[in-house]
Amino acid sequence: MNSQPKEVVYNLEASAFNWDISPGKTIEAWGFNKQIPGPELRAIVGDTLVVRLTNNLQEPTMIHWHGLRIPAAMDGTGAVQKPVAPGEVFEYRFVLPDAGTFWYHSHANETEQLEKGMYGALIVEDTTDPVFDAEKVLMIDDMKLNSDNKFTKPGWFVPRIVERHDGREGDTLLISGKEDSVIGIAAGQTERWRLINASSARYITLYLGGKEFKIIGTDGGLLEHPRTVTSVLITPGERIDIAAGPFEEGETFAMESLPYNRSTFLKAKRQQFATVKVGKQKTSVAFIPETFRTIESLANKDAIITRKVRLSVGPSLKDGMDFLVNGDVHVNDKLVKVGELQIWEVSNTSLMDHPFHLHGFFFQVIEENGKAPEYRAWKDTVNLTPRSTMKIAWMPDNRPGTWMYHCHILEHHAAGMMAEFEVIDGNKPQEELNPVRKHHHN
């Protein structure tokens, strides 16, 4: 528990700037405080975060707080705020309700603003967090640059269709804004690595030279128990916290992504993001308990479905294909009442993967293709493989307003695979609702 909650204030300036992704390789980036990622924001659960955003870009922007259970007005989407115009300032202010690995990113013209670097990490600590020897925040991204290190949009029909279908993937692979990083760790020590997939579309299957590591947390904070693995999938928007080490002095191995076939035109490759180098032996104080916490089950797999959300792809004369929710683009979905448990069947009838992201609320996956999942976790983003069905459970607590869900492949989101819906306080008369909601494309 945080016995003395405080106000933590940051100033973020959105602007264009030059950024060296490796020696001699400079890009014309957009970002926060002239760095990629933007400043790492850090506070303790219960603190109030205050972020003053100044927009010095040539176009509007706003910040979405990915994974945070905050009031709707602070969600940073076009549904709840006027985008911050060039030269203007907007203050975000909210209490941090949960500990975990979160991130912030632009929610305006996302396919361009995120691709150019408008994202950063938000780490919320708890005084009861497990003890590690050190901690690293590793934001994973890729950029698609031409031979002059410039961002270009595909001009021709076929490349444009490929980017719309696959999402934008590039061969410039970044860990926290840098190519070919070296990640150092002392021999004998165990560190907490907080991994955030900030890319537009790339699926990362994290692999550390075949070495075992422990998954300790995901989107909504710590799991109940650590899980020992040698690889883990992190889809766009998702976070995974791992316990890395202990390793032997002098060891060197690659931090890679194994190929993941998500039925794209461009075939997935095994790719190296960074190199891990193990330094001199140091004593360790790290302690990873067998149980981190209890996650109460919201519902079991047989719970009655209250809503169906079907993700699909349909033909479009103009762009080759549309990305759909329940057969439509940019959908206004039915309202949800505070306190009424939601059991959503989310299905994917297309032949490609989609990472489903719900704003503002954590959910639990209670059924995956007819089976109960192996373990419980709080999630805000979950992958749907081709022709798959998932049941998720979530509780709308008392934060009325307009919320949204969408595919976190940014090109799919922009192409229509998104919906807005109202969370309403059922005890209030309906007239207080805004009867007409515009379509928003952010």
Q: Which residues bind Cu ion (CB under 5 A)?
A: 354, 407, 409, 412
- Is the Cβ of residue 137 or residue 407 nearer to Cu ion in the bound state? 407
For the residues of 220-284, what is the DSSP string, one character each?
Answer: TEEEEEEEEESEEEE-TT-EEEEEE----TT-EEEEEE-------SSPP--EEEEEEEEEEE---
- DSSP letter at 129 equals P
**Contact 381/373 with Cβ under 8 angstroms?**
no
In the complex, least distance from residue 224 CB atom to Cu ion, rounded to whole angstroms:
29
In the complex, least distance from residue 363 CB atom to Cu ion, rounded to whole angstroms:
18
In the complex, least distance from residue 233 CB atom to Cu ion, rounded to whole angstroms:
15
In the complex, least distance from residue 122 CB atom to Cu ion, rounded to whole angstroms:
24
Beta bridge partner(s), residue 207: 231, 256
- Is the Cβ of residue 222 or residue 407 nearer to Cu ion in the bound state? 407
- Is the Cβ of residue 66 or residue 354 nearer to Cu ion in the bound state? 354
- Is the Cβ of residue 99 or residue 414 nearer to Cu ion in the bound state? 414
CA nearest to 256, candidates 268, 241, 271: 271
CB contact set of 164 (below 8 Å; sequence gap of 6+): 319, 320, 321, 411, 415
Residue 282's CB is within 10 A of a number of other CB atoms, namely 15
In the complex, least distance from residue 330 CB atom to Cu ion, rounded to whole angstroms:
14
- Is the Cβ of residue 69 or residue 406 nearer to Cu ion in the bound state? 406
Phi, psi of 343 (to 5 degrees): -120, 105
Q: Where are the alpha helices (DSSP H) in 375-433?
A: 410-414
In the complex, least distance from residue 312 CB atom to Cu ion, rounded to whole angstroms:
10
- Is the Cβ of residue 392 or residue 409 nearer to Cu ion in the bound state? 409
**Contact 19/30 with Cβ under 8 angstroms?**
no
In the complex, least distance from residue 110 CB atom to Cu ion, rounded to whole angstroms:
13
CB contact set of 22 (below 8 Å; sequence gap of 6+): 178, 179, 180
- Is the Cβ of residue 189 or residue 264 nearer to Cu ion in the bound state? 264
